Chain A
Amino acid sequence: DTAVSQTPKYLVTQMGNDKSIKCEQNLGHDTMYWYKQDSKKFLKIMFSYNNKELIINETVPNRFSPKSPDKAHLNLHINSLELGDSAVYFCASSRTREDQYFGPGTRLLVL
């Protein structure tokens, strides 16, 4: 009965590859997010969706494309992976104006 789940947990891949990370929440929340946490632990918002609609799109390379097939799912596709994309990617969800529930994170390592 995990609230916010992400797959995969670990992702090791070569530069130039394309990869996807999936996120699902069973909390009935309306809003979902993707965050990037770098090696210095900085947490930076990348995207936010409300009821499948993109509402926050921070300055992120267009190699990153989110997709929300329904309000319980928010996936992240990354094209042409670069070394600097190595980080932990967290998915989160929230009811509007309440705290966020984070997924367990996906540790991406680009070689």
Chain B
Amino acid sequence: GENVEQHPSTLSVQEGDSAVIKCTYSDSASNYFPWYKQELGKRPQLIIDIRSNVGEKKDQRIAVTLNKTAKHFSLHITETQPEDSAVYFCAAVSGGYQKVTFGTGTKLQVIP
């Protein structure tokens, strides 16, 4: 089955700096890679996603890159703000009915 590794498990950055979270996956059949943000006590919510036919996607301060050959994908947050503090999960999705495997999560702390 799919195995998704996520690093780092915790990340502290100064407000305004960039944050990068990296994930690797094992199943070459995975073709959809969403990223979720989970604030304390809340539900995970999608922030950005990328499909396997695309190498990079940007949405304002958030970008995701995908390297299919190396089987890794990354989340980049620029100009971090305190409200970016949360746990971030990557995921890899394969199969017609979306077998979703989540990474282990990264707790991001943005220090004002």
Contact = CB atoms under 8 A, between A and B. Distances in A.
Contacts of B87: 41
Interface of A: 31, 33, 40-45, 48, 50, 55-56, 90, 94, 96-97, 99-100, 102-105
19 contacts: A31-B98, A43-B44, A43-B89, A43-B102, A44-B102, A45-B99, A45-B100, A48-B99, A55-B97, A90-B43, A96-B96, A96-B97, A96-B98, A97-B93, A97-B96, A97-B98, A99-B46, A102-B45, A104-B42
A16 B104 CA distance: 30
A56 B97 contact: yes
B46 A100 contact: yes
Taking residues whose C-beta sits less than 8 angstroms from the other chain, chain B's interface range is 20 to 34
Interface in B69-112: 87, 89, 93, 96-102, 104-105, 107
Contact of A105 (B32, B43, B89, B93): B43
B8 to A, nearest CB: 14
Contact of B44 (A45, A48, A96, A102): A102
Contacts of B45: 102
B46 A56 contact: no
A50 B105 contact: no
Nearest to B32: A97
B82 to A, nearest CB: 20
B44 A90 contact: yes
Contacts of A41: 38, 87, 104-105, 107
